[in-house]
Amino acid sequence: MWQSFKWFFEWNDKTWLGQAISGTIWAFPVIETIHILALTMMFGAIVIIDLRMMGFGLKKQPVALLAKNLEPYMTWGMLTMLATGYMLFTSEAMKCFVNDGFKFKMAVLFPAIVFQFTLFRWVTHKDEEKRPMLLGWLVALLSLTLWFGVGIGGRAIGFV
Amino acid sequence: MPPEFVQWLQNAGLATAIRESAIVYPVILSLHLTGMALFGGMILMTDLRLLGIAMTKRPVSEVVEGLRPWKHLGLTLVVTCGFLLAWSKIAIYYPNPFFRLKLGLLTLVTIHALVFRRSVYRNTRELDRSPVIPGRAKLAAALSLVLWIGLVSAGRWIGYWEPKAAAPPTTAQVN
């Protein structure tokens, strides 16, 4: 299945944007720094919601209210990460194509994004009284696991 | 520090074990980043609350104190792992200007904490009673954000510097 995406990587390897980024020494580090700062913003917002849903921290705020307060940071953090992440990818697409860390990251990233805007959103917006405690824990742990997996995959790209 | 001393530090048993293991170094690095994401996220929300940007409908004390235990957990993780990483390759890191910049910022962050701890971060009840957030608290928050963003950036740039940078570093060598 992975091989059938080869054309996509080959095309991305040749974009003017990718060429421009890989053509300088400073662009990649600068973009990666923004990528990591956005990670902190997104992950921070998600972790605060997850912990609250498991019954830790900020207990005076209802989950739904906290989630609505923090969603802009989560969403904008994620959009920044996707934009900068794509830039990094297109500057070294063929390297990513053969990188197991990258494959793992993509395999976890897409489910994580879908999960974040469907199940996570639905459960966090739900009335706490009507939500089973176990469901909250499951969703929080799943969210932490998925994003942790994305992070590990990302970090592994530089090592494998 | 004299190079011999730096080399001696790096040759310690634990440091050598971390450096030479194919798996331990990346694992500690991942934990360092996990701690950073946790700590950074908590710092960001604490500071944004003090600046009057995020969660403004909730009292300062509730936000700052509610996030504090997780902030401390993240800090412990990031500092412990960071210390081990630095120690294991100190002879390589020590000449790196971004590593030195990071140590400098770390010193400033410590001073920042000592200066503002009593009057801002441990004084949230007082801040709750104030009709507007005092300038001192906003200054503390803004400085904290600038210092931490600088620190994270310097950390990331450590990996891109090479001694006697004659040839541009290729991304394959970066990790």
Residue-number span of the structural domain to which B52 is assigned: 3-173
Q: Residue B85 contacts by C-beta under 8 Å, 6 or more apart in sequence?
A: B18, B25, B28, B29, B32
pLDDT computed for residue B96 by the predictor: 94
% of chain B with per-residue pLDDT over 90:
65
Q: What's the distance, Cα to Cα, between the start and end of chain B in Å?
A: 26
pLDDT computed for residue B162 by the predictor: 83
CB contact under 8 A, A40 and B172: no
Q: What is the CA radius of gyration of chain B?
A: 19
Give me chain A's average pLDDT, please: 93
Mean pLDDT of A11-34: 93
Q: In the structure, what pLDDT confidence band is assigned to residue B169 with cuts at 50, 70 and 90? A: low
CB contact under 8 A, B26 and A51: no
On whether any CB of chain A is under 8 Å from the CB of B170, the answer is no
Between CA A30 and CA A66 the distance in angstroms is 32
What count of residues does chain A have?
160
What residues in A contact B149, CB-CB < 8 Å? 37
Q: Which tokens sit at B165?
A: 């940078």
What residues in A contact B162, CB-CB < 8 Å? none
Residues 17-56 of B with CB under 8 A from A: 26, 29-30, 33-34, 36-38, 40-42, 44-45, 54-55
pLDDT computed for residue B152 by the predictor: 94
Q: Residue A46 contacts by C-beta under 8 Å, 6 or more apart in sequence?
A: A74, A116, A143, A144, A147
What residues in B contact A70, CB-CB < 8 Å? 45, 54-55
Domain boundaries defined on chain A = 8-157
pLDDT computed for residue B22 by the predictor: 79
What residues in A contact B55, CB-CB < 8 Å? 61, 66, 69-70
Helix axes A27-53, B24-50, angle to 10 degrees: 70
Backbone torsion region of residue B167, taken as left when φ is above 0, otherwise alpha when ψ lies between -120 and 50, otherwise beta: beta
**Is it the case that residue B170 has pLDDT exceeding 60?**
no
Interface confidence: ipTM more than 0.85? no
Closest by alpha carbon to B157, among B93, B99, B117?
Answer: B99
% of chain B with per-residue pLDDT over 70:
94
Cβ–Cβ < 8 Å for B56, A61: no
pLDDT tens for each residue of A115-139 = 999 999 999 998 888 888 899 999 9
pLDDT tens for each residue of B22-43 = 789 989 999 999 999 999 999 9
Phi, psi of B58 (to 5 degrees): -105, 145
Residue to test with chain B: of A24, A34, A36, A46, most B Cβ within 10 A:
A36
Q: In the structure, what pLDDT confidence band is assigned to residue A97 with cuts at 50, 70 and 90? A: very high
Cβ–Cβ < 8 Å for A75, A15: no
pLDDT tens for each residue of B139-167 = 999 999 999 999 999 999 998 888 775 55
What residues in B contact A155, CB-CB < 8 Å? 26, 29-30, 33
> How many domains are there within chain B?
1
pLDDT tens for each residue of B57-115 = 889 999 999 999 999 999 999 999 999 999 999 999 999 999 999 999 999 999 999 99
Mean pLDDT of A73-95: 96
Question: Which position has the higher pLDDT, A25 or B13?
Answer: A25
Cβ–Cβ < 8 Å for B60, B99: no
DSSP for A84-124, please give it.
HHHHHHHHSHHHHHT-HHHHHHHHHHHHHHHHHHTHHHHHH
Q: In the structure, what pLDDT confidence band is assigned to residue A158 with cuts at 50, 70 and 90? A: confident
Q: Which residue of A has its CA nearest to B146?
A: A37
CB contact under 8 A, A41 and B70: no
Largest CA distance in chain B: 58
**Is it the case that residue A37 has pLDDT exceeding 70?**
yes
CB contact under 8 A, B45 and A48: yes
Between CA B46 and CA A140 the distance in angstroms is 21
Between CA A72 and CA B46 the distance in angstroms is 16
Between CA B94 and CA B26 the distance in angstroms is 20
Q: Which tokens sit at B85?
A: 């990483």
pLDDT computed for residue B130 by the predictor: 87
